[in-house]
Amino acid sequence: MMGHSHALSGVVGWMAVVPLLQGTEFFGVGFDLGSGEIIAGGLVCAGAALLPDIDHKSATVTNTYGVVTRTLGALFNWLFGGHRNGTHSLLFALLMGALTQALALWSDLAVQIFVFLLIGIAFNGLGFGMDKNKTAAEVINALVTAGITLALFTNDVNYTWMGLAVAFGCLLHFIGDMVTEMGVPLLWPFWKYRFGQNMGFKTDSKIERKVVTPLLTIGIILYSVYLFPWPELIPES
């Protein structure tokens, strides 16, 4: 799937699990998700839904932060055996989830930096930029991302769910790629079989552009109406 589809699936996916997580507790972490956590989680999950493609030199995530992400992309490509290998495995999702959860528990500053990076990746994946002026697009993206990150921070958003959102975003990426023709090696390095290979549609095909993307967009709108406490439109008499 294309970057924008992966990012949209991250937003929809997080919104879909919020009602299931609300009020529950896993490994000592309780989930009390207000509007700030829902918004932050959707953006974090959208950014994380692009992370597995960091092993590809042309991917959105690899080119979001210039030489930094390109260098990381080359490193991940080498460590995980090339594109759509190790970074598209359950092992990778668990590693990313564990890393970000450790950051969330270790340092408020570290998790804020990671949130900033993931939100920037999410916006880049969603296409919030200007193709004819890349520099201006990068500056605008950075400013908007910084503003949102700061707004979430000042509203005391709790990031104890960070690791779950990142791991879940990676899993959503795998599901998205499994419905395309190439499939993914979920059990790498123990078993390199590609689940979903030759069973779905082509990436950036009419199905993705005219069916999948619109449905994901509609899903975001519907979940927004359902999850957020919108003010009454009709005043009391």
Contacts of 62 (CB under 8 A, 6+ apart): 53, 54, 56, 69, 70, 72, 73
Q: How far apart are CA 80 and CA 99, in angstroms?
A: 17
Number of domains making up the chain: 1
Is residue 10 domain-resident?
yes
Is residue 237 domain-resident?
no
Range of the domain at 162: 3-224
Q: Is the dihedral of CA 223, 112, 65, 72 positive or negative?
A: negative
Compute the residue count for the chain. 237
Please give the full DSSP string across 139-202, using - where no structure is assigned: HHHHHHHHHHHHHHHHTT---TTHHHHHHHHHHHHHHHHHTBSS-B-TTTTT----BTTTSSBP
pLDDT at 130: 46
- Per residue in 169-183, is it b (16+ CB within 10 Å) or e — as a string? bbbbbbbbbbebebb
Is residue 232 domain-resident?
no
Q: How far apart are CA 143 and CA 156, in angstroms?
A: 20
pLDDT at 232: 44
Residues forming beta bridges with residue 195, ordered by sequence position = 184
Q: Are 120 and 145 in contact (CB under 8 A)?
A: yes
Residue that has been written with the tokens 């406490």 in this structure: 229
Q: Which two tokens stand for residue 155?
A: 């509203």
pLDDT at 136: 65
Is residue 235 domain-resident?
no
Mean pLDDT by 10 residues, the chain (237 residues): 88 93 75 88 95 89 86 92 91 95 86 91 77 64 86 88 94 91 89 84 79 91 84 49
Q: Which two tokens stand for residue 33?
A: 């998700």
Q: Are 156 and 144 in contact (CB under 8 A)?
A: no
Classify burial at 110, counting beta carbons within 10 Å of its beta carbon; exposed 0-12, middle 13-18, buried 19 or more. middle
Is residue 220 domain-resident?
yes
Is residue 230 domain-resident?
no
Name the residue among 120, 104, 121, 228 with its Cα closest to residue 157.
104
